[in-house]
A and B are shown apart, each in its own frame.
Chain A
């Protein structure tokens, strides 16, 4: 049967993709940011996941004001990197995993989560930047990817508890898929940042580090935080952190944190990164 072996959390700041694309990750300015992924790049090369379920948010790319799904799963065979206003990133086409994705959709819908099924969409920096951070600049991505888009742009997004429960439902779905697959789940976005208004540039390191501490064992407490508190404490865009709870919910109650990285700032944002391995 398929199994989820590990979870990865990371910010998905668009500027990181740009710095990778212009080969500046080793510069004095950027080395401290990217060196925090050296461990993970070595680790993931050994882990060789067959499929990554990549939880991210679409930033007015595939979904505009016409259609705004709260949760959407990409079931198509491939997804093109989007032109977000300055040309598409020069990264490989993302290969989907239609069989597993469709199985997850069916299973999760039958567990009372009304996922939107998307067969064709372009994917933006929310999805491609994490791939670049973990895999660098390959000719083709070394695994299949199931995009799972969460609305955190139009208020309200789903609650932390709903995200945690969705993760649990995804785990059940994966474990009932009849194929020997090593699956990882990634939660992306955050940490504290606010991209608008006089309060733009807000960073709350204490909040971010407490969130990273609690995610391992005290995630039930994190799941009770309302979106308005994320906004107040970690900025309007800080609420992206609920996507880390989808990842946490899909893992075992017991996990080991094998890597952590935190850096302020990347552009307007506090960058956070964690790697969890499942333990029995």
Chain B
């Protein structure tokens, strides 16, 4: 584990650090463009056409089209940028967030009501095995 990345052994977690940020630069900047109503309309009218204007990888574009948040995070997206896509879709933050877990949106919300995901067993990758 790199001393620069003392969080590499945390399970189910991607930290938005400088290497992720470099990878996701244009994906995140595309998300920023959705802060304007006219851009949200243009994106909704022609998603692939809108995405073509951004110098993103094909993999990143496909992940956006698929609304695959797990993939978008892996490809350098940051959740505060990505929720601008879910907001454009009229979805709650919790709906976007829960799609990255192994639960349905309803199961996830029920888990939260029950006090959230416990930290016990979730601190280290080794604990999960």
Chain A: residues with CB nearer than 8 A to chain B?
Answer: 14-15, 59-61, 64-66, 82-87, 153-156, 192, 194-205, 207, 226, 228, 231-234, 236-237, 264-265, 267-268, 270
User: Tally of A-B residue pairs with Cβ under 8 A?
Assistant: 149
**Interface flag for B97 (CB, 8 Å):** yes
Q: Are B123 and A232 in contact (CB under 8 A)?
A: yes
* Bound-complex Cα distance A270 to B80 (A): 18
Bitwise, B28-43 to A at CB < 8 A (1) or not (0) is 1101101111001000
Pairwise interchain contact A228-B40, C-beta atoms closer than 8 A: no
Residues 113-129 of chain B, each 1 if its beta carbon lies under 8 Å from chain A, else 0: 10111110011100000
Q: How far is the CA of A226 from the CA of B123 in the complex (A)?
A: 15
* Residue in B13, B25, B69 with the greatest tally of chain A CB atoms within 10 Å: B13
Residues of A within 8 A of B102 (CB): 198
Considering the chains assembled together, what is the distance between the CA atoms of A238 and B73 in angstroms?
18
Q: Residues of A contacting B34 with CB < 8 Å?
A: 85
Residues of B within 8 A of A86 (CB): 87, 90
- In the complex, the answer to whether B108 meets A85 with C-beta atoms within 8 Å is no
Chain A residues, Cβ within 8 Å of B115: 203, 205, 264-265
With a CB–CB cut-off of 8 A, which chain A residues contact B73? 196-197
Interface residues of B (CB under 8 A from A): 6-7, 10-18, 21, 25, 28-29, 31-32, 34-37, 40, 69-70, 73, 78-81, 83-84, 87-88, 90, 92-94, 97-98, 100-102, 108, 111-113, 115-119, 122-124
Q: Are B93 and A154 in contact (CB under 8 A)?
A: no
Chain A: interface secondary structure? loop
A201 & B6 in contact (Cβ 8 Å cutoff): no
Q: Which residues of A contact B29 (CB under 8 A)?
A: 64-66
Residues of A near B119 (CB, < 8 A) are 202-204, 207, 233-234
**Which residues of B are found within 8 Å of A82, using beta-carbon distances?**
35
Known A-B contacts A85-B83, A154-B18, A231-B13; the reply to A198 vs B78 at CB < 8 A is: no
Which residue in chain A gives the minimum CB-CB distance to B120? A204
Asked if B87 and A196 make an inter-chain contact with CB atoms under 8 angstroms apart, the answer reads no
Sample of 12 more A-B contacts, CB < 8 Å, known A228-B6, A236-B14: A15-B92, A83-B36, A85-B84, A154-B17, A155-B7, A156-B17, A197-B12, A202-B117, A231-B10, A231-B13, A236-B16, A268-B94
**Nearest chain B residue, comparing its CB with the CB of A201:** B117
Residue of B nearest to A204 (CB): B119
Residues of chain B within 8 A of A14, CB atoms compared: 93
